[in-house]
């Protein structure tokens, strides 16, 4: 069941933008392959439609955080390689084997668990060994990589497919961040050099690493946020960029917009204080529009204090009061020509104006990832750019 089917509020996902972004990233990192990261329901965009679009655009495979996310793709007919970025254990390891997922291993116990699962299922499982070069979340120590790779290779039910790591501050512009990224890559190179054979695949780069650290591209890059058309950092890069990464970022196209239709309109006197807490007096007599989206949908309460604006009739309009669970109110000013049914854009473009997820991130003191991932499942997703038939279609 699609939640919110009858509510005049939706997240619109442009799959042509996803395809275009994947193609742009592929050109930028060639000859390295692109693995499309579709974890967390494709960062709130919808895992199955986005996965299909990314593969159509030439992604070599997909990556998820959880085994259940990979199973969802399989249940919808996605047959491409799917890498689980965490180390599965217990029932998850067996489920990964049954679904033909590629598993990350980062410990001796993980290798043993995965091999047992593969034997129970009666299959051979591809494994990517993760080495911790400084992120300190998951991964074998660099000096122990040789032993873990040997353990994988010794298991006939496992197939060593890759060795990988993850960069902690590849998006950073500070000298300390750049120094640390260089150190991570140095550690990775040293660990790889200690192996008796080169693994079939090596990968280290997320979107930021792929765009700003050419030496981190290796055989494959894992692109998440860039595929959705958002920059990997709120920090801008000043001056010449010899990697060409900044130019690629500038050409990415956001795939998601958040839209709704006005549900009610009222004219209020100057000094009226709409919504919970009565926090903000209207500076003048104004038209106030009610919009059926709230913090249960991912429109954070802190946006009021952050000075967030929405688009109504192609103009920026401020919030008139605190965001509530299911609704928000907009100050359309004394001249606001607005009526029930008019479109309101919270993220996206309308006329010549645009409000971006990165603008929200700046106002909230967070990152674009959190903004798009935070749009809740009860907001229906409508897809455009689906190829034959075009038009908009809901996820169902």
Catalytic annotation present for 190: no
**Could you give the CA distance from residue 357 to residue 234 in angstroms, rounded to a whole number?**
11
User: For 165, which DSSP code?
Assistant: -
Q: What are phi and psi of 312, to 5 degrees?
A: -135, 125
Sequence length of the chain is 396
Backbone angles phi, psi at 307, to 5 degrees: 80, 30
Q: Which of the following is catalytic: 43, 276, 369, 383?
A: 276
Catalytic residue among 39, 218, 228, 383: 39
With vertex at residue 341, the alpha carbon angle to CA 364 and CA 17, rounded to the nearest 5 degrees, is: 55
The owner of tokens 């700003």 is: 212
Q: State the Cα–Cα distance between residues 257 and 253, nearest whole angstrom.
A: 11
- In angstroms and rounded to an integer, the radius of gyration of the C-alpha atoms of the chain is 23
| SS3 category, 225 | helix
272's CB contacts (< 8 A; 6+ apart) are: 281, 282, 288
User: Does 276 participate in catalysis according to the annotation?
Assistant: yes
Catalytic residues: 39, 276
């Amino acid at each position: 069941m699609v939640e919110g089917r009858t509510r005049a509020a939706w997240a619109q996902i442009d799959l042509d933008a996803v395809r275009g972004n994947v193609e742009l990233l592929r050109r930028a990192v060639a000859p390295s392959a692109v693995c499309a990261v579709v974890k967390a329901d494709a960062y709130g965009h919808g895992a199955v439609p986005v996965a299909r679009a990314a593969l159509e655009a030439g992604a070599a495979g997909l990556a998820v955080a959880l085994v259940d996310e990979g199973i969802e793709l399989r249940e919808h007919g996605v047959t491409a390689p799917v890498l689980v970025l965490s180390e599965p254990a217990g029932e998850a390891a067996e489920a990964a084997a049954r679904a033909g997922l590629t598993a990350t291993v980062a410990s001796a116990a993980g290798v043993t668990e995965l091999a047992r699962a593969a034997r129970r299922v009666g299959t051979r499982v591809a494994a990517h060994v993760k080495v911790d070069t400084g992120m300190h979340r998951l991964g074998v120590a660099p000096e122990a990589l040789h032993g873990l790779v040997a353990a994988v290779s010794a298991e006939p039910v496992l197939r060593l497919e890759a060795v990988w790591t993850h960069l902690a501050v590849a998006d950073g512009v500070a000298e300390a961040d750049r120094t640390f990224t260089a150190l991570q890559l140095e550690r990775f190179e040293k660990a790889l050099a200690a192996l008796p054979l080169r693994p079939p695949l090596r990968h280290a780069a997320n979107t930021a690493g792929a765009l700003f650290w050419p030496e981190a591209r290796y055989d494959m890059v894992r692109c998440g946020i860039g595929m959705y058309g958002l920059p990997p950092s709120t920090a801008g890069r000043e001056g010449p960029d010899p990697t060409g990464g900044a130019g690629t970022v500038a050409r990415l196209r956001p795939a998601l917009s958040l839209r709704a239709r006005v549900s009610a309109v009222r004219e209020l006197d100057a000094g009226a204080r709409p919504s919970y807490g009565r926090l903000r007096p209207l500076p003048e007599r104004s038209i106030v529009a009610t919009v059926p989206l709230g913090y249960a949908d991912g429109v954070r309460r802190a946006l009021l204090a952050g000075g967030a604006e929405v688009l109504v009739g192609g103009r920026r309009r401020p919030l008139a009061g605190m965001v509530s669970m299911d609704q928000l109110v907009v100050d359309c000013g004394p001249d606001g020509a607005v009526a029930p049914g008019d479109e309101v854009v919270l993220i996206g473009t309308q006329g010549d104006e645009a409000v971006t997820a990165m603008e929200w991130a700046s106002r909230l003191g967070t990152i674009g990832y959190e903004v798009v991932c935070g749009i809740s499942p009860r907001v229906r997703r409508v897809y455009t750019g689906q190829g034959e038939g075009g038009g908009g279609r809901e996820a169902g």
